Amino acid sequence: MTDKKARLALEGKDPIDLPIHSGTLGPDVVDVSPLLANGLFTYDPGFVATAACESRITFIDGDKGVLLHRGYPIEQLAEQSDHLETCYLLLNGELPNARQKAEFAERITRHTMVHDQITTFFKGFRRDAHPMAIMCGVVGALSAFYHDSLDINDPRHRETSAIRLIAKMPTLAAMTYKYSIGQPFMYPRNDLNYAENFLYMMFGTPCEEFKVNPVLARAMDRIFLLHADHEQNASTSTVRLSGSTGANPFACISAGIAALWGPSHGGANEAVLNMLEEIGDVSRIPEFVNRAKDKNDPFRLMGFGHRVYKNFDPRAKVMKQAADEVLSELGLENDPLLKIAKELERIALEDPYFIEKKLYPNVDFYSGIILKAIGIPTSMFTVIFALGRTPGWIAHWNEMISNPYKIGRPRQLYTGPVRRDFQPLDQRS
């Protein structure tokens, strides 16, 4: 913290000195807590310019298209690391050594099964229930199986919950898919790595041996990794706010899943595929670009734009490269949706509207094309996002709980009726 300060001059009042704090990277912040003693609130709908907390986990420079996890650039992690190692990094602050990495992977493997009564829970859903609706339910329901070993103030309990959540999300995600197609659930296998196990549980059946394609497993792992964390986005902020009440981590992650579902957030990857299919042909791209620019048309180019990035989302660049690799591995280089996506990106990036508003492809623009090529249905895309984001949610929840924190309780600018007396029914016009 520094001793810099801002002075707020108010008409007819003494000026208010507001401390300014500097981080290791990024803009300084003005500490506005002294305002309350002077009868004032700040006003920042959507928290566009509000730092809600101090954090050491992830840093984004939106103007430069930089994303760091505990200081490591996302491009290097995507190229040289894997999802579980990145989970360890997010949770513990440092990359694991060989022993730590092996122990962490082994602990995850030992927690991939879910309580068998969870399968009964699934039977309460319609087969055509949206997988995210099921995930909100079953992840929250994990609280019912672990409430007895859950002292959030005990670091060992917090670590066990983290392991359980990271380990069980792929199992639960695959179960939502199997349930939707009426196939039996596949139990996780301890001889497969994290991404291989997920693809096995998704596409394997008890009827025959299932060999996981290593190229697809690598692409799946990279998709998980690229979604692992992203500062105080809407779903992570939801997890933090839920956790600030002392709610158990399973309930907090379930709240994060619900927030992620929206098409402006994690639901965008599903919306991108639906949009590309609606466009249908490169000849119709100008029509949709014009709709996206039309103030009277609620249509937005899904997968474009970002609250923080005003440059390329670095994850989108890696995702685009992964899309090329997967589609060529599968002999789908001429995939019509990929062609539409690439042409749409080219046209949009040359369009003055998108240039002026600094709208670039984000993480969701290419991920769906890879997932579709792997054989994952569009309705499962946001579930994959939630699976990848779980370590980030937990790392932020743990960072908050393991440091002094207060219950989150924003204030408001009230513009409703002033005090008035109740009117009995017979006196109302």
Nearest distance, CB of residue 289 and ligand SDX, angstroms: 9
Among 273, 364, 393, 399, binds ligand SDX (CB under 6 A): 364
Nearest distance, CB of residue 188 and ligand SDX, angstroms: 27
Closer by beta carbon to ligand SDX, 296 or else 429:
296
Sign, CA dihedral 201-205-209-212, equals: negative
Among 140, 249, 305, 368, binds ligand SDX (CB under 6 A): 305
Active-site annotation holder among 31, 265, 324, 335: 265
* Contact flag: residue 256 with ligand SDX (CB under 6 A): no
Active-site annotation holder among 83, 227, 230, 306: 306
Closer by beta carbon to ligand SDX, 58 or else 161:
58
Among 107, 189, 300, 317, binds ligand SDX (CB under 6 A): 300
Closest CA to 139 of 176, 104, 90: 176
Sign, CA dihedral 386-142-377-128, equals: negative
φ, ψ of residue 367 to 5 degrees: the values are -60, -40
Tokens coding 425: 């029914």
* 205 three-state secondary structure: strand
Active-site annotation holder among 229, 313, 351, 364: 364
The contact mask relative to ligand SDX for 260-279 (x = CB under 6 A, - = no) is ----xxx-x-----------
With beta carbons less than 8 A apart as the criterion, state whether 180 and 284 touch: no
Closer by beta carbon to ligand SDX, 112 or else 233:
233
Nearest distance, CB of residue 295 and ligand SDX, angstroms: 7
* Contact flag: residue 81 with ligand SDX (CB under 6 A): no
Q: Tell me the CA distances in angstroms from 71 to 25, 58, 103, 105, 397, one per residue in order.
A: 10, 7, 23, 22, 19
Q: Is 265 a catalytic residue?
A: yes
Nearest distance, CB of residue 413 and ligand SDX, angstroms: 19
Nearest distance, CB of residue 32 and ligand SDX, angstroms: 22
Which of the residues 146 through 185 are near ligand SDX (CB under 6 A)? none
d(CA 171, CA 163) in angstroms, rounded, equals 13
DSSP state of 68: E
With beta carbons less than 8 A apart as the criterion, state whether 134 and 383 touch: no
Nearest distance, CB of residue 63 and ligand SDX, angstroms: 14
φ, ψ of residue 387 to 5 degrees: the values are -60, -45
Closer by beta carbon to ligand SDX, 46 or else 417:
46
Q: Tell me the CA distances in angstroms from 164 to 47, 188, 204, one per residue in order.
A: 32, 14, 23
Among 104, 203, 261, 304, binds ligand SDX (CB under 6 A): 304
Tokens coding 401: 């709980």
* Contact flag: residue 292 with ligand SDX (CB under 6 A): yes
Closer by beta carbon to ligand SDX, 345 or else 364:
364
d(CA 381, CA 302) in angstroms, rounded, equals 14
Q: Tell me the CA distances in angstroms from 36 to 8, 22, 32, 87, one per residue in order.
A: 13, 22, 8, 39
φ, ψ of residue 347 to 5 degrees: the values are -65, -45
Among 174, 228, 273, 359, binds ligand SDX (CB under 6 A): 359
Nearest distance, CB of residue 301 and ligand SDX, angstroms: 4
Beta-bridged to residue 73, according to DSSP, are 68
* Contact flag: residue 233 with ligand SDX (CB under 6 A): yes
* Contact flag: residue 306 with ligand SDX (CB under 6 A): yes
Place of tokens 């099921």: 134
Q: What does the binding site for ligand SDX look like in residue numbers (CB under 6 A)?
A: 230, 233, 264-266, 268, 292, 300-308, 357, 359, 362-364
**Which residues are annotated as catalytic?**
265, 306, 364
